[in-house]
Chains A and B, each alone.
Chain A
Amino acid sequence: MKNKKKNKIIISTLLLFFAFCFIVLFKGLNNSNIYVPPQKTEKILKNFNSKDLYSENKISSDQIFVDSEFYAINIWSSWCAPCREEHPKLMQLSKNKSLKLIGLNYKDNPKNAKKFINEFGNPYFMIITDKNGMISIDLGAIGVPETFIINKDKKIIKRFLGSLNEERLKEINLILE
């Protein structure tokens, strides 16, 4: 009698344990397996040095972030397929006068980058190069494409991992208003 009761307790505990595991794992199935770094609110942009894609002149971040209310740094590359997809959205975004769009050309061949711009249009106020990817790492980026919205105090107020789409454009426009 006592043994039966004991067995019942063991079986029900085991069942509860398995049900718990099932629920946790099942819920986990719906989670994205792409890691998105935590958004640190208002992280200040570090100073960096780069080169202009066209003139190849050295340029520091102090020379870039001067007189606009908002800036957007868009990390892109000619070899990146999602960058081609988001390009029309960038062209749309470039029409907004309260924002200066800076292109950070990531680990690209300058010839291919220029060809890409000639083919699809130039939405950028300025294109700077990141030959070894170190500027992107300093920004906290993972890959291409990625877009950072920066205010006049050089604070990163929003970041978008992956291509820009209609929804994200609306979000940016809301910030700019």
Chain B
Amino acid sequence: MKLSIFFLIIVIIFNFTKLNSVENNEELKNKISKNIRCLICQGQSVYDSQSDFSVSMKLIIEKKLSEGLNENEIYDFLINQYGQWISYDPEFNKKTFILWILPILLFLIGGAIIVRKLIIKKL
């Protein structure tokens, strides 16, 4: 009796972990598809779109996850296939440096102007 209960518990735990991993994969699939641009849509992610391209893309992400690829490896695969444009999180390189640096630069310049004005007012 005790042994059968023990086995039952083991089976339940095993199934829960399996369920959990399926759920994790689903979450990860959604996360990745939200960060991937639908290339034939106007301003939609693969997650939001129901176009043929996006439906196939979701299947590919699912397949790659089941093959054991991690999140970054899937992004790399898609960027290698379709170019940097497919990612909503472009990497820092000579083509994208203005995109990354300009907001920081504007923030610093704006901050410097405000600080200067405040100092002048105090004086």
Chain A residues within CB distance 8 Å of chain B: 33, 35, 37-38, 106-107, 132-134, 136-138, 140, 142-143
12 further interface pairs, Cβ-Cβ under 8 Å (given A33-B42, A132-B55, A134-B60): A37-B39, A37-B85, A37-B86, A132-B56, A133-B56, A133-B59, A134-B63, A137-B57, A138-B60, A140-B82, A142-B82, A143-B53
Task: Report B20-46 residues with CB < 8 Å from chain A CB.
Answer: 39-40, 42
Report A175 CB to chain B, min CB distance, Å. 23
How far is the CB of B36 from the nearest CB of chain A, in Å? 11
Q: Report Cα–Cα, A54/B120, bound state, in Å.
A: 82
Complex-state Cα separation, A137 to B60, whole angstroms: 8
Question: CB of B103 within 8 A of chain A?
Answer: no
Q: List 29 A-B contacts (CB under 8 A).
A: A35-B85, A37-B83, A37-B85, A37-B86, A38-B83, A107-B52, A107-B56, A132-B55, A132-B56, A132-B59, A133-B52, A133-B53, A133-B55, A133-B56, A133-B59, A134-B56, A134-B59, A134-B60, A134-B63, A136-B56, A137-B56, A137-B57, A137-B60, A137-B81, A138-B81, A140-B81, A140-B82, A142-B53, A143-B40
Q: How far, in angstroms, from A138 to B78 measured CA to CA in the complex?
A: 9
A132 to B39 alpha-carbon distance, docked (Å) = 17
Question: Interface code B49-80, partner A: CB below 8 Å = 1, 0 otherwise?
Answer: 00011011101100100000000000000000
> CB within 8 A of A35: which of B39, B59, B60, B63?
B39
A143 interface neighbour in B42, B52, B82, Cβ under 8 Å: B52
Most buried by A among B40, B56, B81: B56
Residues of B within 8 A of A138 (CB): 60, 81
CB-CB under 8 A from A33, the residues of chain B are 42
Q: In the docked arrangement, what's the CA distance between A134 and B54, Å?
A: 11
The CA of A99 and the CA of B60, in the complex, are separated in Å by 30
Q: Tell me the nearest residue of chain B to A77, going by C-beta.
A: B52
- Measured in the bound complex, the distance between the Cα atoms of B66 and A134 in whole Å is 15
The distance in angstroms between the C-alpha atoms of A38 and B86, with both chains bound, is 11
Task: Kindly report which residue of chain B lies nearest to residue A34, judged by CB atoms.
Answer: B40
Distance between Cα atoms of A142 and B81 in the complex (Å): 11
In B75-107, the 8 Å CB interface with A consists of 81-83, 85-86
A112 to B40, CA, bound (A): 24
Question: Could you say which residues of chain A place their CB within 8 Å of the CB of B85?
Answer: 35, 37
Residues in B with CB closer than 8 Å to A35 are 39, 85
CA distance A35 to B41 in the complex (A): 10
